Amino acid sequence: MKSDRLLAFTRPAKDAPAVESIGKDYAGKLMAADQFRDQLRELKAVSEVRLPVWTGEGEARRVELAPEGFDPATGLFTVNRIPYQDDLTENEGSAILWDCLKDFPYDAENEPRVEKRRSFSAQMAAMLGVYCRELFPEGTPRPMIVYNANQSGSGKSLLMRVALAPSQGPPAESGKPETESEFEKVLDTAALARLPFLVLDDCRSIHSQALNRYVTSPVHACRLMHSQRMAMIPKVTQVFATGNGLTISADLDRRALVIDLFEPGKVEDRTFEKEITPGWLFATDTRARFLAALWALVRTWRDAGMPMMKEHRRASFEEWSGLIGGIVIACGMSNPFSPRLAETGGDEVGRAIVRLLAVAAGEYPDGSAPVLTPDDLLEVAEREALTDLLNLSATDKRQSLGKKLRKSYLGRKLTDTQGRVFEFGVRKMAAGSRYPITFL
């Protein structure tokens, strides 16, 4: 024993004890002892680049870049593998990002200026959300980032990689698991590994109760492998999903920040001022330029007093949407959480049902009191090309439609195709459900 704080292991020798290393099993047991474990510093995350973190308390609280190495205040260890410029102006930073993002077919929203479109702002929010991840405490709910395109080749997967490239590098991508059981295992693994992000690429659908719970809950409960014990893991993972023609229900829309891409022509006929290749996107100098640009935007927000966005903040995600939305708006862009465009986004199923009921009611003259059957409505849906948009079960369309109507539309006041206001209701009869229309 050299002192009361240091020790060495020895073996007998002729002249004097010889210092000798111990095996890893014995070392592991020693390190698990309370005397050693209590001295370990809590390591919460490792980053290969400097990310924004909170410093100071109270009125002195502000945002700075994390120091290189271990930061006791945040528990973040920064390798700083990609140094980047930390004094770009807002205009210089915006120009770097604009050069990469300007040619994607963000939903038009009757707004000719790309930089003012909601989906462009949503892409900026996605990039800033990844970059500013250490500004949020463990367990802060983060909305799912969804890229929804009207056809293949519109750029949804590429934009997802652009969001992750600066601070995370090339992302590991996988498809959506086929069953809920498989999905739960994937989410358990992400929580236990404290993955910073999970990518579900090229999904046919993103409906999942397990995913809904995972996105909104601050803590994920999962069973430890080969054990009956449950672990309660604070959630830190940001979920990304991409797909073509995804049905975004009102419930899912509330949990997601959706980037809608709408390419009106043939994707193969498009030309780009700047071709984005994986080699360019994930190159060290490209990532350094993006990181410098994102830090310029964060500094602009910081120096403006760090205003939090108040309009259209998402329930369950108030902290994330308030801060990230505040940065985007402080830099002159539109609100990324504003309602999605009716023609290319929002609650597609809901709009299809409202259109279905409006057309059905509009076929009856004034003074009548029609009672519609599920078959009547399905006939109108077929005629109006609404069947696919309604997302009905293939096994029983009547029952599937009935469930959707009973869940959200009974007693609703709507307007038919003739401009008349009517109330949609239901009463049970021997032959099954009937839906009375009452003109008001």
When the pLDDT of each residue in the chain is averaged and rounded to a whole number, the result is 85
Q: Do 104 and 64 belong to one domain?
A: no
Question: Residue 403 sits in which domain range?
Answer: 348-439
pTM higher than 0.85: no
The verdict on 221 and 257 lying in the same domain is yes
Separation between Cα atoms, residue 125 and residue 329, nearest integer Å: 10
Question: pLDDT digits over 30-74, tens only?
Answer: 777 877 777 777 888 899 999 999 999 888 899 999 999 999 888
The pLDDT of residue 427 is 55
Spell out the long-range contacts of 228-234 with Cβ–Cβ below 8 A and sequence spacing 24 or more.
231/192, 233/191, 233/192, 233/194, 234/138, 234/139
Residue 432 domain flag:
yes
Q: Is residue 167 part of a domain?
A: yes
The greatest distance separating any two alpha carbons of the chain, rounded to the nearest whole angstrom, comes to 114
**Is 234 found in the same domain as 138?**
yes
Do both 381 and 253 map to the same domain?
no
Q: Does 300 share its domain with 410? A: no
Determine the pLDDT at residue 109.
Answer: 60
Decide which of 303, 330, 357 is a domain's last residue.
330
Whether the per-residue pLDDT at 16 is higher than 90: the answer is no
Residue 347 has pLDDT above 60, yes or no: no
Instruction: Specify if 181 maps to a domain.
Output: yes
In a domain, 51, yes or no: yes
Residues 168 and 122 in one domain: yes
Q: What are the backbone angles phi and psi of residue 438, rounded to the nearest 5°?
A: -115, 110
Question: Cα-Cα-Cα-Cα dihedral of 26, 32, 33, 36, to 10°?
Answer: 100
Domain count, the chain: 3
Residue 151 inside a domain? The answer is yes
pLDDT band at 123 (very low <50, low <70, confident <90, very high): very high
Give the pLDDT confidence score for residue 1 in this predicted structure: 38
Task: Report the pLDDT value the prediction gives residue 174, as an integer from 0 to 100.
Answer: 82
Q: Does a structural domain hold residue 341?
A: no
72 lies in the same domain as 98:
no
363 or 92, which is more confident: 92
Residue 37: its H or E element? helix 34-37
239 pLDDT band (50/70/90 cuts)?
A: very high
Q: Are residues 305 and 428 in the same domain?
A: no
- The answer to whether residues 149 and 254 belong to one domain is yes
Within a domain: 3? no
- In the listed set 78, 99, 126, which residue is the last one of a domain according to the structure? 78
Structure tokens at 304: 């403006």
Nearest 5°: CA angle at 346, between 345 and 349? Answer: 105
- Determine the Cα–Cα distance for residues 352 and 214; give it in Å rounded to an integer: 28
Residues 271 and 355 in one domain: no
Q: Check residue 107 and give its pLDDT.
A: 81
Q: Are residues 271 and 323 in the same domain?
A: yes
Does 396 lie in the same domain as 315?
no
Q: Is residue 177 part of a domain?
A: yes
